[in-house]
Amino acid sequence: MEAPRSLEIVKAAGVVLWRERKGGDGIELALVHRAKYDDWSFPKGKLEIGEKHREAALREAFEETGMKVLLGQRLPTRHYLFRDRVKRVRYWSATRLTGRFVPNREVDELLWLPVAEARAMLSYEHDRALVDALLEQLGG
């Protein structure tokens, strides 16, 4: 018997990409804008068949930002409803290794913002909790 769509869990992975602000005054977070949904969020996406969560986080970061990233510590897993299904996203903190953003079919804009501005711009409350978790990991 097949489970109803409402009980399906969509597995996904993502990153909270951060960097030190110039002058060493705090950090900045990278937010991506998805024109399809007109939202501001962190890079994330569904796992491909046979893919591990860490692999998906690295792939999605590259696909959405054009950057190869170094995964840091795990952040809290977020669960939320999306199109009558439960989406489970495992997140990691991440820093840029190489690459630069080029608008693409999924993401038309990327902004590096100080924490307070990023928190205000995020479209979803569950993303704001990730900011708090990252700050706690980084010691403040």
Domains parsed from the chain with CATH numbers: 5-137 (3.90.79.10)
Question: Which residue is associated with the tokens 């307070």?
Answer: 116
Does residue 44 sit in helix, strand or coil?
A: strand
> Of 43, 44, 22, 57, which Cα lies nearest the Cα of 109?
43
Length of the chain in residues, anyone? 140
Residue pLDDT tens, the chain, 140 long: 444 455 688 999 999 999 999 887 899 999 999 999 999 999 999 999 999 999 999 999 999 999 999 999 999 999 888 777 888 999 999 999 999 999 999 999 999 999 999 999 999 999 999 999 999 999 96
pTM for the model stands at 0.90
Q: CA-CA distance, 58 to 77, in Å (whole number)? A: 16
Token pair, residue 129, equals 């909790």
